[in-house]
Chain A
Amino acid sequence: MITTVIIVLVILYFLKDLFSDIRSVNPLDAAKQESPVVEGKFTPKTLCKYNGSDDPKIFMAVKGRVFDVSQGATFYGPGGPYENFAGRDASRGLAKNSFELELLTPLDQPLDTLEDLTPEERESLDSWEEHFENKYKIIGTLHGENEK
């Protein structure tokens, strides 16, 4: 009796395997799809999560414009030399060629106006801006929390 049951189970297993061979796929199943970020306006708080850690994408603001620097993850991603700039307004740090955290404007403060930069620092920042324009895609603009 037990032998018969085992043989039936084995036959069922082989049949299941046979029918599973003709499985089909449905890549249009909406549940599996994730939507990319919509380009447009960012605030310091909405930008900060795109730092390569909280989100795999890496965005960075320079002179009020937001760049997608995900391709440069080795520089701007976690562990990279410029990782402090990921998800932040990097303008002042780039102008002063410094990675110091204190050069980043706190998230709850108004946007950095950069008015106190020296001519040399402005030139350095412009040069960095040109570098980003040539290399990375602009995906939006940076605005203060209270700006409409």
Chain B
Amino acid sequence: MSDTSVLIAVAVAVVIHYLFKKYVDATKDVPDLYLSEQSLVEATRLSDQSAIYKSNKLDFGNGLRVGLDIRYNHYKIRHGNPCDVWELLVAGLKSNPQKLMVLNNEVIKISELNFKVNRVTAYLDANGIRNIAVKYSDFMASIDHTVILFACLINAVTVTFYQTSDDLQTLEVDHFGDQLLQEVDSILSATGELFTYENIYNFDKDKGARIRVVKKLDGSTIRTTEYLAVNLVSNIASTLKHLPPNETIGPKDTILVTNVNPHTSLVNTLCKVLTGFVTNSSVIITNSSSWENLVSYNPSVMFSDSSVYSKGELVHKLQRGLSVVGRTKYKLSMYFLSQGKFSRFGSSNLRLVYFTTIVGGPESCYFATAKLNQLRALLNARVIVEYGYDNLIGPVVLSDLYDYRVLDGAITENLVGSGCIFQAVEIKLVNLKSDNFGDIMVRGYNIGKVNNYIIGGGSGERVNKDNEGFMLLEGVKGKWGSDGCLYIYGE
């Protein structure tokens, strides 16, 4: 071959490569500006504090994401409550009367579930039961336990979750879950289907604590966290609105929710299940964290916790199972992700995976951004990581659906969480140091009300009312990135 031919071939290769790069750049998921401005920042700040940041996915001027924005009385808007969630679930039966819910190895039709919940609700009403106590280990442990939980939720009965009966010394409880289970045994064993749910709104349905979580901090101190209806619906709305319209969760989806550690994440698990109800998706709840078990349900959306990720072991496990073709697709997918473009090179039903971790919790885990891209490529699914905190439902910060950036190694040391702000909260840093690190203060609608009880003594609220409702995240420091994301570091 002559030199001229070689030169022409090289020139053609360069041009094709150039055009290809231009094409990838022009078709990437979001422009760079989208990822560099992930927060709305208030124009002013107080001395020694940062400005208040909130999600840029909010409708500016309308404040934080509070609820489901349900229209009533022609023009008024209300936030919603668990009864509305149940109404949406039952309304979905019109289009699919055979819809199922799976709980571990049990399967129940939604119409049967509605029948049982309806009858337990009537029993709670008839007996004036206003609060019950249920062990952590009984949270969604069986269909019967779940029926009672849903009946309590829509009947404004407070459900207190506890570890041991000693934890309940200072709390008022009408009934225990096991006792109630025996009382309603005949109701639960009856079979039938119900395709309607009458939901007449009144203000009382929005009030009162729905879930109360009791934890013993040490030998003498007990912490209770109360979650109101608004805490639940603000989480559901914020979770759904975090997704762009083309990726939203809908009736065609099958949602898998893992319930591995009820001790730390039962309220999060409950909200994910309710999110499935709101969107009329098929809901599967499992207490397994084995990846093989999870994918055997063939879900399209998976809400899992850090135990499934297993500190990155999941990535290695999936990589080991790749064939030659699979490895090529993986490399190609990784290349496109590095260019800001997510591409599916497989036929898996799974399209969206959530990982949730509690910052500062016993299972706290940082999801390295490079590993997340590997997961996206291996699973052919989008991945969102939610970094929560002890008494919040849902995350404080979470990764954007389109954020495939890999963080510089210099800033990931001691990093315990990072991402854009959840739509139900706003955040500021206080006690700012010269390096712009500060204590993280959070205010919003998904924060439970915390009371610390000293056994045989008084109680004290954790939220400092003198601080405009902001709550300090203990044990961590934060710094704002120029991209509007919060970077959370362990102390």
Contacts and interface: CB of A to CB of B under 8 A. Distances in A.
- Interface size, A (range): 20 to 34
A30 B50 CA distance: 14
Given A6-B10, A36-B44, A68-B44, A27 B485 contact: yes
A7 B1 CA distance: 14
Interface string A5-36: 01100100110010001111111111011011
A107 interface: no
Contacts of A35: 45
- Interface size, B (range): 35 or more
16 contacts: A2-B3, A3-B6, A7-B10, A10-B14, A24-B406, A26-B407, A35-B45, A36-B45, A37-B43, A38-B45, A38-B47, A39-B44, A39-B45, A59-B43, A68-B43, A68-B44
A103 interface: no
Contact of A7 (B6, B338, B409, B436): B6
Contact of B45 (A6, A29, A37): A37
A40 interface: yes
Interface stretch (B73-81, B187-195, B230-238, B476-484): B476-484
B45 to A, nearest CB: 5
A28 B487 contact: yes
A38 B50 CA distance: 9
B126 interface: no
Nearest to A37: B44
Interface in A57-71: 57, 59, 68, 70-71
Contacts of B46: 38-39
Contacts of A2: 3
Given A10-B13, A10-B14, A22-B338, A27 B43 contact: no
A111 interface: no
A21 B409 contact: no
Contact of B481 (A23, A28, A39, A139): A28
Interface in B52-109: 60-61
Contacts of A45: none
